[in-house]
């Protein structure tokens, strides 16, 4: 059997935000792995902590965010303990992020050309490439993301490009800098469907060619099914079920996952409300036991008081739910 290598391991991650002296406990005990050359999804409704998870992986939480506990291992090394220079190297060579809001990813006052040069300079430092060689690499990678006129793009500033172009520029930079891990936060959802589809297909083909590992964050189960090999179902800052995408879709175990599947294909803020009454709990005072218990039709005393632990359904599928565990 081929040996699995994990490019990323997120271990028991808890993250809070503090606003006006009130602490909100957003992520709680989040754990998942990303195998090299695979695409892993995180899906859940608005506000469940998807962007927070990705930002923590890049170690770029906003200043009011605190990592309470946990580890993020990139090729075995905890990025939360990396010295500054090493962390910078990790962001330049290791992981890159496509932000949910494409305008926040690029520096508005620097030309695309100079942003590429900056990104590539570090990645190819050892090879001592000339500026012309670096720009050739940039142009090539712009072509791979279907931006047909690389020279024009390189000579533009971000505001001269459309949102879809900017996202594709970000993907191209990540690729040209030969980063191993792409953190994609709702790629393309702010854009029109054809461009979203193009971006998803591009990401999928890069993963399939073995060049890239991806963490894909989305509201959409359709996107998860299309792009990922394994999936994590997130509810209110916790991962309630996970495993091989196919198995989770065919045999959802957690009442929340089942409800998600019932409101296919796309969830907006209120999407799930149709399936299950109530909404995400108040993070400043989260439920003591299972975070889903207040909305769960099957919850009992144990669910309200104890944290569910992971229970294996098969080698590639687990659920954190007392009720599913007991086969109810
Ligand atoms: N800088 C911040 N300060 C305080 N609270 C924050 C901050 N950023 C996020 N939050 C809160 O943390 C929770 C999770 O937010 P996050 O952006 O991670 O959710 P999300 O799953 O990405 O949602 P969406 O699908 O809408 O993008 C929300 O309740 C949000 O209000
Ligand atoms: Mg988000």
25 lines ligand 1 (CB under 6 A): no
- Per residue in 229-252, pLDDT (tens digit) is 999 999 999 999 999 999 999 999
How many A from CA of 134 to the centre of ligand 2?
Answer: 33
220 lines ligand 1 (CB under 6 A): no
Nearest by Cα to 53 from 238, 296, 270 = 238
Whether residue 120 contacts residue 136, with contact meaning beta carbons closer than 8 Å, is answered with: no
| 103 — pLDDT class (breaks 50, 70, 90) | low
Cα gap 120→35, rounded to integer Å: 25
* Whether the predicted pLDDT of 265 surpasses 80: no
Taking the alpha carbons of 35, 12, 203, 91 in that order, is the dihedral positive or negative?
negative
Predicted local confidence at residue 194, as pLDDT? 77
Share of the chain above pLDDT 70, in %: 92
Report, in angstroms and rounded to the nearest whole number, the Rg of the chain calculated over CA atoms: 20
Peptide bond before residue 265 is cis, with ω within 30 degrees of 0: yes
DSSP secondary structure string for all residues of 53-120: HHHHHHT---TTEEEEEEEEEETTEEGGG--HHHHHHIIIIIEEEE-SSGGGTS-TTS-HHHHHHHHH
102 lines ligand 1 (CB under 6 A): no
- Per residue in 273-293, pLDDT (tens digit) is 456 677 888 999 999 999 999
| 327 — pLDDT class (breaks 50, 70, 90) | low
Q: Which ligand is nearest to the CA of 269?
A: 1
What would the mean pLDDT of 148-156 be, rounded to a whole number? 93
Topology of domain 6-325 in CATH is Rossmann fold (3.40.50)
The enclosing H or E element of 261 equals helix 255-262
Q: Which ligand is nearest to the CA of 50?
A: 1
If one compares 159 and 202, the residue with the highest pLDDT of the two is 159
- Per residue in 23-50, pLDDT (tens digit) is 999 999 999 999 999 999 999 988 999 9
- Per residue in 297-326, pLDDT (tens digit) is 999 999 999 999 999 999 999 999 999 877
DSSP secondary structure string for all residues of 5-55: -EEEEEEEEEEEEEETTEEEEEEEEEEEEEETT-EEEEE--TTSSHHHHHH
Predicted local confidence at residue 267, as pLDDT? 47
284 lines ligand 1 (CB under 6 A): no
| 262 — pLDDT class (breaks 50, 70, 90) | confident
Ligand 1 atom index nearest CA of 237:
14
State the number of CA atoms in the 13 A half-sphere of 199 facing the CB. Answer: 28
Q: Where are the domains of the chain?
A: 6-325
Cα gap 322→126, rounded to integer Å: 53
Share of the chain above pLDDT 90, in %: 60
Average pLDDT, the chain: 88
| 328 — pLDDT class (breaks 50, 70, 90) | low
* Whether the predicted pLDDT of 136 surpasses 60: yes
How many A from CA of 51 to the centre of ligand 1?
Answer: 7
26 lines ligand 1 (CB under 6 A): yes
Predicted local confidence at residue 165, as pLDDT? 86
């Amino acid at each position: 059997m081929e040996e699995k290598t994990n490019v990323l391991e997120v271990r028991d991650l808890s993250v809070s935000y503090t606003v006006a002296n009130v602490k909100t406990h957003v992520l709680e005990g989040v754990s998942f792995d990303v195998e090299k050359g695979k695409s892993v999804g995180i899906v859940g409704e608005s506000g469940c902590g998807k962007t927070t998870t990705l930002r923590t992986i890049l170690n770029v939480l906003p200043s009011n965010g605190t990592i309470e506990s946990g580890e993020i291992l990139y090729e075995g090394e905890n990025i939360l303990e990396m010295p500054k220079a090493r962390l910078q190297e990790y962001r330049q060579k290791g992981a890159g992020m496509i932000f949910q809001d494409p305008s926040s990813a690029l520096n508005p006052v620097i030309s695309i050309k100079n942003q590429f040069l900056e990104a590539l300079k570090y990645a190819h430092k050892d090879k001592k490439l000339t500026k012309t060689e670096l720009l050739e690499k940039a142009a090539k990678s712009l072509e791979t993301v279907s931006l047909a006129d690389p020279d024009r793009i390189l000579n533009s500033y971000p505001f001269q490009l459309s949102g879809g172009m900017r996202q594709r520029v970000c993907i191209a930079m990540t690729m040209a800098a030969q980063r191993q891990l792409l953190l994609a936060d709702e790629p393309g959802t702010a854009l029109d469907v054809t461009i979203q589809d193009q971006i998803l297909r591009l990401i999928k083909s890069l993963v399939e060619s073995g060049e890239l590992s991806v963490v894909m964050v989305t509201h959409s189960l359709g996107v998860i099914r299309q792009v990922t090999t394994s999936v994590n179902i997130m509810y209110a800052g916790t991962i309630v079920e996970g495993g091989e995408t196919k198995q989770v879709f065919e045999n959802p175990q957690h009442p929340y996952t089942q409800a998600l599947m019932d409101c296919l294909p796309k969830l907006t803020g209120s999407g799930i409300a149709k399936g299950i009454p109530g909404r995400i709990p108040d993070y400043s005072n989260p439920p003591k036991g299972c975070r889903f218990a207040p909305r769960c039709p099957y919850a009992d005393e144990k669910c309200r008081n104890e944290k569910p632990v992971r229970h294996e359904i098969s080698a590639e599928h687990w659920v954190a739910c007392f009720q599913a565990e007991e086969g109810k």
